[in-house]
Every structure is written in C-alpha cells, then in structure tokens.
C-alpha cells in the first residue's frame, strides 16, 4: 500500500470529519438511522458472545447472477465468491488474503518444487456427512480437466503434469498428474515449479467433487437440495436473478468457528439500486458503488465507503500488426508520455485509482514492478519528450496523426477515452476518432487485429503472481490482442516458468516487464480499486488485493443501545 | 349463420395463423442472432482454442448452421427451448417459468390499477370538460406520459423507502410491500394514457344522438353514463389494450433493473448482449405467442363491446 493511498484515505477521513459538524447530510435523513455497533471484544481469539448480534444473517450484494454453481464449470467473479463459501479447496485464504490450510491440514513440496504432497484433514466432511477423501479431490481435478465437462476455466490447471494433453482431448483424464496415495494423502506433480500453485488451489476448478451427487443429478447437480459441498456453508435456496441463500454446514470441520447462520447473495446488476437498498437497510455489503456517487458517498458514508487497491490494471493496447504503430516505437512512446495520468485519476475516474506506467499492479508479494525512467519525470518533461518523439516519427502540425480509439460501451470507458484523446490533441495535435462498440463486437475486433489501432484493455489477475499479467504478451498467446512478439521477452518468461528460486524468478519477471515497457505495446493508465459500502456492524473481513472475502470469517456485531 | 359460429371460425383461423407467424419469427431471429459478431463464449479472458472447441461441441455450435436451425425447430415443436448458455445450470424453459410469473404479477397488477384509475379519472374529466377538474386531471396525465420511469422510480424509492422507510427499496423479498413501488412506476404512464383516451372518446359519445335521446327521456345521469355511454366510450381503450398488456406483462427492463426484480424483460436484453442464442430464441417465441394470444383476446372483447362489429356476417 502506498503513501498516496494513505493520503487518499486520510483525506476521506478529514473531509468526513468536516461534513459531520455541519448540516446533516442525506444519511441523517435515511429512515434506517443505522446505529453504531458496540465495541468489538475478543475472547480466546473469538468475538465475545455478548457483542454479537442476535440475528447472524449476512445480506451480501454480489454484482451479478453467477453463471453456474458447479465449481468445475464456474467462471466469473460472482460464481467464485459464492463457491468459496460453499466449497473448500486444498488451501484457503485468511481475511487478508494469506494462504492458509483448507481441506489439507499440511503439505510438503519436493526439493525441485515439482511434487506437492498434501495431507488431508481427517475430520473433513461433505455436507451430507460423508468423509472428504483424497479420491474426491483426484476426481475433482479430473472432472475439471475432462473435455467432456466443457469447463471454461480448466486452463488454470495447466501447470499440472499432463493437463495440456488432457484438455486437448489427446489423453485420458486418468493421466493427469494428481494421484491419491491413500484416503487422506494426495500427490500433485507439476510441469514446472510454479510458486503460485498453492494460491491456485483455492480456485473453484480445483475443488473436490461428491461423485454420487453428480452421478444422481447430472446437470441438475448444482441446485438446492442436490448440491453436496464441503465448505462452511450449504446451498439452501436459489431464485434465479433474485437471491441465493446459504446456511451454515453442520458437518463442516470448522463449524464451531463459523458465526454467521445464513448468507444471502443478491445479484444486483445496477449498483445504484444496490446502494439504495443498502441505505434502506436491506444489504450489509454492496458489490460496488456507482462512480458518479463518489463525492456524496465520501461525505455522508465516510465510515462505510471502503476503497481499496485491486489486483488489476487499466491500459490501452496498440495493434502492432498495423500501421501507424507497427514500425514506430517512437510514436507509441509519444502517446504514452502525452497522457497526464494524474488528471485522469483525479478528475475522471475519481475513486482513488493509482496512476501507473507499469503493467503489473503493486501489491503482489515482494515483486517490485520496474519503473521506467519517465515515471520519475514531471508531466512537463514527459510532454516535451512526447513532442520530440512525435516529430521524430514524422508527424507535426501540418501532418497530424489520425487514429481510431476503440472502447466497449460503458460510461467509464467513454470518459477515459475522451480524456485521453483530448490530451493527445492538446499536447501533440493528434486527431482521434472515438469508436464505441458493443461488448462482443469489441472483443471480436480486438482478437482479429484487422480493424483495431488503439483499444481499451485491462486485466484483473487470476492469482497473486505477476505471471498472470505477463503471460498474455507471449508470442501467440490467446489473449495477445496486441500482436506483440519478442524473442527476448518469450525466453525470459520461459526461464521464469522453470525457475524454482523465488528471488531469481522475480528478477526474470521484472526483466520481462522492463522489456515489455521498453517495446511499449500498451499505454498503462491506472490500477484498479474496489469500492463498496460495508455496514460497520460487519466484521471479520479485511481488504485484500484479490478481493476474496470468505463469509465464514465474518460476523455481525450488535448495535450500541440508543441513548 | 349465427354470430357464435362466426366467432368460432374466426378464432380457428387466427390460431392457425399463429403457426406461420411464429415460424417466420423464429427464422428471422435465429439467423439475425448468428449474423451478430461474437459468440456466447467470448469474454475478456478469451478461452484457449481447445476449450472453446469443447464448449462448441457440447452445444452443437460446431454443426453447419442449417443443421442447427432444423435441430432448433425440432426442439421448439417439443416445447423444449434447450439449455441457456449464460445460466448454465438452468434450461430456458425453467428460466421463463421463473421469470414470467414475476412479470405477470407486476404487469397484471399495473394493468388493473391503470384501468381502474385511468378510466375513472378519464370519465370524470369528460364530465367536467373544460373546467378546473378537467385541466388538473389532464395536466397530471401529460406529466405522467412525459416523465420517464427511470426518473419516477428513483424518486419514489428515495422518498418512500430510503427516507420514510415504509417500503423496501427493491428486490423480490418479503410480502406485498415489494410490489407497491414497481407497480406504481409501471402504471403511471399507462394511467395517463388511458385517462386521455377515455376522456376523448367519452366526450365524443356524450355528444352522440343516442345519449341525447336518453337524456331527453329523462333518464338519471348516472344511468346514462354507466349504462349507455361507458361501453362505447371504452372501445379505443380496448383496442389499445392488446399491445399495451403484452408490453406490461412481458416485463420492463428499466423497472426490473431499478427495483432489482427478477422478471422476464431483462432476460431478453441480457440474452442478446451475451449472445445467449437459446435464451433469446426462447423468450422471443414466448413473447410472440403471448402477443398473438392477447391480441386475439382483445379482438373477442371488441366484438362483445361493439355492436357494429360481427364476424361471419355479410
């Protein structure tokens, strides 16, 4: 977390302080005068019973309807959030995102970093009381990788030996490098030492499967009553696009530590609607808040508005397979330098996003993203250099650059595109045509690399490792919509993949990012933040860059009695 | 030939006409969806080719288009709209079965409310033509038509739910209170429209000869209005009602979004944006069927109300 972020939080607190002494804001008019919670007291590492609210039911807005609750088919954030409550992988995460034991009580990693042996908890139980065994995990991995399952996210299994062949249908799922040594021991063999592998094991694709339920119910397996899961909660009700209700799983090994009785997830697509329900006291947690509400939320809900860094980067991409950018690194650099990121985050996006010149966002362990030299310049120096490069590339007032900037339909993308285009115009005299495209059309154009010149892009990390960002710029990678191809970059990534000493691996990745920024296939703009309203009564959670929040750690405090 | 057999024959013809209409509808929408760029499995995080192939094979998207078309027609004949691409745990039939009752409840209540209020104030305005009551009613009606529901809804929520705390701010939880705000929001413009239609035609009817004759005979005013004038005065409302009712009970995307209601309207829009081919097709076929049936019911109502229209005569 940076100084800038603290400064931002501090500003929020100060502003809030001022607002309070003056006339009452909208919050004071809200019918639900949410009372302040009592002070939290802990006894033996647990909240004291007398500070807990009588009704432990969490109402949590989840942003959208999950596409499925079958862990091996799941994709997208809404499904992942619910599945983390329903199931438990070999590893799990603490409130702050640290990896902790899940269904596996402990594990050993071989000296070469390629063989992981997991020892499962003896008291692991499915929600119907059956024991959770190593075979359940083996079958889960196989089901995920099996082409017949048609999983969207099975590619996260690729570090496992044999996974690529299984996914391609060239080998049977039995050949996957995951074997049960006995009922409670599991061995996973990897292709390369993959330091982030433990983090992948809390991902839904690696969850175990209760084979009998899948066999009995087939495609109706992820329904209330049918879904047998091994996590802290069980699925009790699912009204499509209305609510998904979970109740505490009495068979869960850590059931004594779970305080919430029930969790209700709501799929509200309209963040404005969610904020209104929060204000009316119907929600404890919103998925996000609308960008244009920021100022008054900051004033009237200072303690409840939570803004925190997220593992994601917002940037623009160049199509390197086309003129004018194909053979002109000067021009690419000029456009990178001409954007004033401070104005972009202070005046346009306005939620405490962090301006950046990097691809990999901060906050991933010990990884220090390499700062290019212009990051330390003043904006004026950058603009001078931009003008010099622009002219060197053969453009000028008489012969301005004319380009198209594509983005997908969204208020925020539109504002950012407009701001960037006007900065290019002001600093360099570039004529930018803004082209707004419907989502699927935009995706197709980006992938085909025929029409695009400059386009909006962005990436939220799949796991807390720089590799999730760097990987997609590999030659021929399915996500490489830029047409970037550099043999040095590719070889640095290949070396990083097979490197087992963490410090050396980090250095290789830093070097790769440096090469990438030097070649400039992208225009980094800012790193994402999550922004939501959280009821002050809700505790047991913490901000983390992955934005993973397990309900099983959370609990509700009771209110301070009214004076 | 009696009027009854005429109506029956007309009904039979209309129901037969349903088949080619739906067939044309299915064909056009099927190919339009496929012409649209992008597919159901495109996402920001693009799928590796092998996984994309697995998915396409699973949903028969790897077959030639014409084969998929006939496969789909075969399914529709069995009333099976197939699995949804977006909501993978549910079939399109199940999604419609969950969404339609919600839309029907809200739309149906809004329709009943609009008819009751709209007709009453319309008649009132007609009886007080060019007097303050008339101007007030028509002024509000004009407002009701011109203020869009995405303005009305948040204001209602803010006042009645957030500040007053009388009603929920949205969602599909709890008892009847959850219905109040969405029904009012949906009904407001319809009330206004019905009031204007009723007033106009009521004034016209009140000036017609048979009403003057009734009045001349000395019949009490109440009997003249409700016994003689109201039925013909409602004819324009009834003919407008068919398409309006279909629009109401199939769900409004805006109202569903603002109140976070799981109705049918959003499926159509979401389905199209996500290229959820089966969901869009299912909802379109269902809409088509519903609109044809509602228009047919309105036609029958019209015959019953208007003595000048008879099927099978002449």
Residue of B34, B48, B49 to mutate for A, most A C-beta atoms under 10 A: B48
Task: Say what the pLDDT of residue B304 is.
Answer: 80
Residues of A within 8 A of B274 (CB-CB) are: 440
Two tokens, residue B198? 């009723």
Q: What is the 3-state secondary structure (H, E, C) of A254-323?
A: CHHHCCCCEEEEECCCCHHHHHHHHHCCCCCECCCCCHHHHHHHHHHCCCCEEEEEEEEEEEEEECCCCC
Report d(CA A551, CA B263) in Å as an integer. 28
Report d(CA B285, CA B287) in Å as an integer. 5
Task: Say what the pLDDT of residue A476 is.
Answer: 85
CB pairs under 8 A between A and B: 152
Answer yes or no: do A213 and A259 share one domain. Answer: no
Report d(CA A416, CA A354) in Å as an integer. 14
β-sheet bridge partners, residue A101: A91
For A144, the closest chain B residue by CA position comes to B51
Residues of B within 8 A of A447 (CB-CB) are: 42, 46
Report d(CA B264, CA B253) in Å as an integer. 8
Contact A154 B38 (CB under 8 A): no
Report d(CA A283, CA A279) in Å as an integer. 8
Å between B266 CA and nearest CA of chain A: 10
Contact B46 A443 (CB under 8 A): yes
Residue A271 lies in a domain: yes
**Dihedral over Cα of A122, A125, A129, A133: its sign:** negative
Residues of B within 8 A of A70 (CB-CB) are: 88-89
Last residue of a domain, one of A220, A239, A261: A220
CB B229 within 8 A of CB B202: yes
Supply the angle between the helices B132-146 and B177-206 in degrees, to the nearest 10: 130
Å between A281 CA and nearest CA of chain B: 8
What ipTM, to 2 d.p.?
A: 0.86
Contact B38 A70 (CB under 8 A): no
Last residue of a domain, one of A197, A220, A243: A220
> In sequence order, which residues have a C-beta less than 8 Å from that of residue A140 and are 6 or more positions away?
A71, A72, A206, A207, A208, A209
Residue of A63, A151, A240, A290 to mutate for B, most B C-beta atoms under 10 A: A240
Residue A442 lies in a domain: yes
Contact A169 B50 (CB under 8 A): yes
For B160, the closest chain A residue by CA position comes to A31
**Cα torsion through A363, A365, A371, A375, rounded to 10:** 20
> In sequence order, which residues have a C-beta less than 8 Å from that of residue B212 and are 6 or more positions away?
none
Report d(CA B192, CA B247) in Å as an integer. 16
> What's this model's pTM, rounded to 2 decimal places?
0.88
Answer yes or no: do A96 and A192 share one domain. Answer: yes
Answer yes or no: do A267 and A192 share one domain. Answer: no
Tens-place pLDDT, residues B253-303: 889 989 999 998 888 888 888 889 999 999 989 988 888 888 888 888 887
Residues of B within 8 A of A528 (CB-CB) are: none
CA distances from A41 to A46, A49, A559 (A): 8, 9, 14
Residue A506 lies in a domain: no
Answer yes or no: do A323 and A443 share one domain. Answer: yes
The SS3 assignment for A218 reads: helix
The pLDDT > 90 percentage for chain B reads 33
Answer yes or no: do A147 and A215 share one domain. Answer: yes
Q: How many domains does chain A contain in total?
A: 3
What DSSP state is assigned to residue A344? Answer: I
Contact A240 B95 (CB under 8 A): yes
Contact A276 B49 (CB under 8 A): no
Contact B257 A168 (CB under 8 A): no
For A70, the closest of B89, B154, B164 (CB atoms) is: B89
Task: Say what the pLDDT of residue B239 is.
Answer: 84
Judged by a CB distance cut-off of 8 A, whether residue A183 touches chain B is no
Judged by a CB distance cut-off of 8 A, whether residue A43 touches chain B is no
Residue A24 lies in a domain: no
Report d(CA A5, CA A353) in Å as an integer. 9
Contact A443 B260 (CB under 8 A): no
Answer yes or no: do A285 and A352 share one domain. Answer: no
Å between B55 CA and nearest CA of chain A: 5
For A268, the closest chain B residue by CA position comes to B260
Answer yes or no: do A359 and A411 share one domain. Answer: yes
Two tokens, residue A324? 């004018």
Residue A406 lies in a domain: yes
Å between A489 CA and nearest CA of chain B: 21
Contact B260 A274 (CB under 8 A): yes
Domain CATH for A418: 3.10.105.10
Q: What confidence category does residue B314 fall into, taking pLDDT thresholds of 50, 70 and 90?
A: very low
Contact A276 B154 (CB under 8 A): yes
Contact B169 A31 (CB under 8 A): no
Judged by a CB distance cut-off of 8 A, whether residue A266 touches chain B is yes
Extract the runs of DSSP E, i.e. beta strands, from A2-93: 42-43, 46-47, 57-61, 91-93
Contact A277 B47 (CB under 8 A): no
What DSSP state is assigned to residue A372? Answer: P
> In sequence order, which residues have a C-beta less than 8 Å from that of residue A25 and are 6 or more positions away?
A19, A296, A299, A300
Two tokens, residue A451? 């029409």
For B171, the closest of A73, A147, A282 (CB atoms) is: A282
Report d(CA B83, CA B96) in Å as an integer. 12
Query: Using alpha carbons only, what angle is made at residue A316 by residues A311 and A321, rounded to the nearest 5 degrees?
Result: 125
Å between B240 CA and nearest CA of chain A: 32
Residue A298 lies in a domain: yes
For A151, the closest chain B residue by CA position comes to B51
pLDDT along chain A (563 residues), means of 10: 45 40 50 78 90 95 92 89 97 94 96 94 96 97 90 85 90 95 96 90 94 92 94 95 95 95 94 91 92 84 92 95 90 96 91 93 90 94 96 92 92 92 96 92 89 93 90 88 95 91 93 96 95 94 95 94 71
Last residue of a domain, one of A220, A252, A275: A220
Answer yes or no: do A210 and A99 share one domain. Answer: yes
Contact A67 B99 (CB under 8 A): no
Domain of A278 in residue numbering reads as 47-64+226-307+531-561
Two tokens, residue A403? 């380009």
> Peptide bond preceding B285: is omega within 30 degrees of 0, i.e. cis?
no
What DSSP state is assigned to residue A518? Answer: H
Pairing assessment for the beta strands A262-266 and A57-61 based on DSSP bridges = parallel
Report d(CA B298, CA A199) in Å as an integer. 62
Answer yes or no: do A266 and A341 share one domain. Answer: no
Q: How would DSSP label each residue in chain B?
A: --HHHHHHHHHHHHHHHHHHHHHHHHHHHHHHHHHSSS-TT--SSPPPHHHHHHHHHHTTTTS-HHHHHHHHHHHHHTT---B-SSSTTSBHHHHHHHHHHHHHHHHHHHHHHHHHHHHHHHHHHHHTTTSHHHHHHHHHHHHHHHS-HHHHHHHHIIIIIIIS-SS-SSSS-SSTHHHHHHHHHHHHHHHHHHHHHHHHHHHHHHTSHHHHHHHHTT--HHHIIIIIIHHHHTHHHHHHHHHHHHHHHT--HHHHHHHT---SHHHHHHHHHTT-HHHHHHHHHHHHHHHHHHHHHHHHHHHHH-TT--TT--
CB A34 within 8 A of CB A535: yes
The SS3 assignment for A163 reads: helix
Residue A69 lies in a domain: no
Complete domains list, chain B, with CATH: 1-314 (1.10.3720.10)
Domain CATH for A269: 3.40.190.10
Judged by a CB distance cut-off of 8 A, whether residue A64 touches chain B is no
Q: What confidence category does residue B311 fall into, taking pLDDT thresholds of 50, 70 and 90?
A: low
Q: How far is CA A488 from the centre of its chain?
A: 29
Q: How far is CA B297 from the centre of its chain?
A: 14
Answer yes or no: do A200 and A247 share one domain. Answer: no
Task: Say what the pLDDT of residue A490 is.
Answer: 96
Residue A190 lies in a domain: yes
Task: Say what the pLDDT of residue A151 is.
Answer: 81
What DSSP state is assigned to residue A349? Answer: I
Task: Say what the pLDDT of residue B313 is.
Answer: 45
Residues of A within 8 A of B257 (CB-CB) are: 269-270, 273
For B162, the closest of A31, A150, A458 (CB atoms) is: A31
Judged by a CB distance cut-off of 8 A, whether residue A35 touches chain B is no
Report d(CA B183, CA A469) in Å as an integer. 48
The pLDDT > 70 percentage for chain B reads 95
Two tokens, residue A6? 């603290």
Residue of B93, B185, B254, B260 to mutate for A, most A C-beta atoms under 10 A: B260
Q: What confidence category does residue B227 fall into, taking pLDDT thresholds of 50, 70 and 90?
A: confident
Contact A243 B172 (CB under 8 A): yes
Residues of B within 8 A of A274 (CB-CB) are: 260
Answer yes or no: do A147 and A284 share one domain. Answer: no
β-sheet bridge partners, residue A555: A539
CB A280 within 8 A of CB B165: yes
Domain CATH for A192: 3.90.76.10
Among candidate residues A204, A112, A103, A118, the one with its CA nearest the CA of residue A157: A204
β-sheet bridge partners, residue A530: A308
Å between A389 CA and nearest CA of chain B: 32
For A242, the closest of B163, B262, B275 (CB atoms) is: B262
Answer yes or no: do A191 and A122 share one domain. Answer: yes
Size (chain A), residues: 563
For B163, the closest of A29, A69, A223 (CB atoms) is: A29
Residue A437 φ then ψ, to 5°:
-125, 145
């Amino acid at each position: 977390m940076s100084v800038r972020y603290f400064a931002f939080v501090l500003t929020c607190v100060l502003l809030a302080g001022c607002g309070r002494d003056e006339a009452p804001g909208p919050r004071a008019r809200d019918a639900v005068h949410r009372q302040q919670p009592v002070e939290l007291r802990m006894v033996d590492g647990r909240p004291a019973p007398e500070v807990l609210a009588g009704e432990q039911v969490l109402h949590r807005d989840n942003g959208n309807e999950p596409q499925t609750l079958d862990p091996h088919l799941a994709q997208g954030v809404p499904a992942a959030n619910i599945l983390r409550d329903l199931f438990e992988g070999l590893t799990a995460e603490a409130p702050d995102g640290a990896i902790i034991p899940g269904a596996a009580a402990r594990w050993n990693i071989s000296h070469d970093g390629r063989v992981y042996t997991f020892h499962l908890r003896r008291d692991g139980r499915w929600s119907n009381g059956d024991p959770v065994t190593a075979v359940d995990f083996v079958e889960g991995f196989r089901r995920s990788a099996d082409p017949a399952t048609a999983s969207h996210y099975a590619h996260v299994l690729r570090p496992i030996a044999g996974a690529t062949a299984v996914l391609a249908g060239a080998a049977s799922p039995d050949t996957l490098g995951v074997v049960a040594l006995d009922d409670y021991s599991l061995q996973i063999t990897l292709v390369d030492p993959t330091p982030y592998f433990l983090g992948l094991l809390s991902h839904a694709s690696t969850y175990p499967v209760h084979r009998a339920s899948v066999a009995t119910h087939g495609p109706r397996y992820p329904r209330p009553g049918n879904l047998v899961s091994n996590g802290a909660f069980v699925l009790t009700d699912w009204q499509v696009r209305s609510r998904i209700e979970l109740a505490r799983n009495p068979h869960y090994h850590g059931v004594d530590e779970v305080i919430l009785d029930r969790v209700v997830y709501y799929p509200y697509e309209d963040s404005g609607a969610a904020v209104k329900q929060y204000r009316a006291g119907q929600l404890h947690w919103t998925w996000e808040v609308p960008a244009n509400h920021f100022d008054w939320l900051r004033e009237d809900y200072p303690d409840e508005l939570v803004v925190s860094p997220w593992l994601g980067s917002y940037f623009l991409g160049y199509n390197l397979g086309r003129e004018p950018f194909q053979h002109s690194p000067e021009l690419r650099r000029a456009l990178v330098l001409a954007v004033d990121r401070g104005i972009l985050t202070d005046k346009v996006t306005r939620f405490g996003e962090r301006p950046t010149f990097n691809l990999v966002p901060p906050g991933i362990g010990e990884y220090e993203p390499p700062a290019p030299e212009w990051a330390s310049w003043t904006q004026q120096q950058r603009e001078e250099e931009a003008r010099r490069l622009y002219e060197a590339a053969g453009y000028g007032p008489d012969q301005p650059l004319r380009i198209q900037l594509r983005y997908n339909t969204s208020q925020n993308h539109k504002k950012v595109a407009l701001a960037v285009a006007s900065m290019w115009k002001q600093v360099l005299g570039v004529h930018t045509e803004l082209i707004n495209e419907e989502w699927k059309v935009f995706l197709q154009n980006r992938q085909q690399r025929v029409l695009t010149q400059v386009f909006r892009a962005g990436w939220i990390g799949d796991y807390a490792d720089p590799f999730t960002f760097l990987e997609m710029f590999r030659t021929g990678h399915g996500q490489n919509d830029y047409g970037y191809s550099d043999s040095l970059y590719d070889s640095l990534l290949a070396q990083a993949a097979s490197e087992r000493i963490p410090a050396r691996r980090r250095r290789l990745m830093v070097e790769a990012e440096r090469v990438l920024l030097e070649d400039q296939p992208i225009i980094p703009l800012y790193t994402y933040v999550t922004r939501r309203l959280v009821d002050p009564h809700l505790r047991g959670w913490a901000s983390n860059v992955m934005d993973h929040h397990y309900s099983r750690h959370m609990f509700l405090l009771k209110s301070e009695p009214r004076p | 030939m009696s009027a009854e057999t005429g109506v029956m024959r007309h009904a039979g013809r209309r129901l037969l006409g349903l088949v080619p209409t739906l067939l044309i509808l299915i064909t056009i929408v099927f190919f339009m969806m496929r012409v649209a760029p992008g597919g159901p499995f495109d996402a920001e995080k693009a799928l590796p080719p092998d996984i994309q192939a697995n998915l396409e094979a699973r949903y028969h998207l790897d077959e030639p288009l014409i084969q998929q078309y006939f496969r789909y027609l075969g399914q529709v004949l069995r009333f099976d709209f197939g699995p949804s691409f977006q909501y993978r745990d549910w079939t399109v039939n199940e999604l419609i079965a969950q969404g339609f009752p919600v839309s029907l409840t809200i739309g149906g209540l809004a329709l009943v409310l609009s008819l009751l209020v709209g007709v009453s104030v319309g008649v009132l305005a007609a009886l007080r033509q060019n007097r303050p009551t008339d101007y007030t009613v028509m002024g509000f009606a004009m407002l009701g038509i011109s203020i869009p529901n995405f303005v009305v809804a948040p204001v209602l929520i803010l006042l009645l739910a957030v500040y007053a705390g009388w009603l929920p701010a949205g969602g599909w939880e709890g008892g009847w209170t959850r219905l109040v705000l969405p029904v009012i929001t949906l009904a407001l413009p319809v009330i206004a429209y019905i009031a204007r239609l009723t007033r106009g035609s009521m004034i016209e009817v009140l000036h017609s000869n048979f009403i003057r004759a009734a009045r001349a005979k000395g019949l009490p005013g109440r009997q003249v209005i409700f016994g003689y004038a109201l039925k013909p005065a409602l004819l324009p409302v009834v003919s407008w009602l068919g398409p309006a009712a279909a629009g109401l009970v199939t769900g409004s995307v805006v109202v569903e979004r603002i109140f976070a209601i799981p109705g049918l309207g959003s499926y159509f829009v979401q389905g199209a944006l996500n290229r959820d081919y089966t969901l869009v097709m299912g909802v379109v076929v269902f809409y088509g069927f519903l609109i044809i049936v509602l228009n047919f019911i309105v036609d029958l109502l019209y015959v019953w109300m208007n003595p000048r229209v008879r099927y099978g005569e002449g």
